[in-house]
Amino acid sequence: MPKYVIERDIPGAGALSPADLQAVSQKSCAVLQDLGPSIQWQHSYVTDDKLYCVYIAPNEALIREHARIGGFPAERVSRVRRIIDPTTAEG
């Protein structure tokens, strides 16, 4: 199933408290549960003013539906085409 990286503009994201991050995570998980098993949240990276979320889903439309229902921004949704890491250099 395709993997996506979602870029979310959230000013001050890096300063969110653990309780705030827990609340956002709970909201996301509740929406995911309602949408069914074909969309999965793998993890997110929190930076100063953005969240970069990694999801598995059959299409971009379902990613955007999750954002719409949850009230989450989704400025950019990018399909992952390849994954590379240091072992890629080894050939």
pLDDT at residue 31 is higher than 90? yes
- Each domain of the chain, given as residue ranges in start order, spans 3-83
Q: What's the whole-number mean pLDDT along residues 54-79? A: 97
- Virtual CA dihedral for 29, 81, 13, 20, nearest 10 degrees? 10
pTM, rounded to two decimals? 0.92
pLDDT digits (tens, 9 = 90+) for 45-65: 999 999 999 999 999 999 999
For residue 44, the model assigns a pLDDT of 98
For residue 91, the model assigns a pLDDT of 75
Yes or no: domain 3-83 corresponds to CATH 3.40.630.10: no
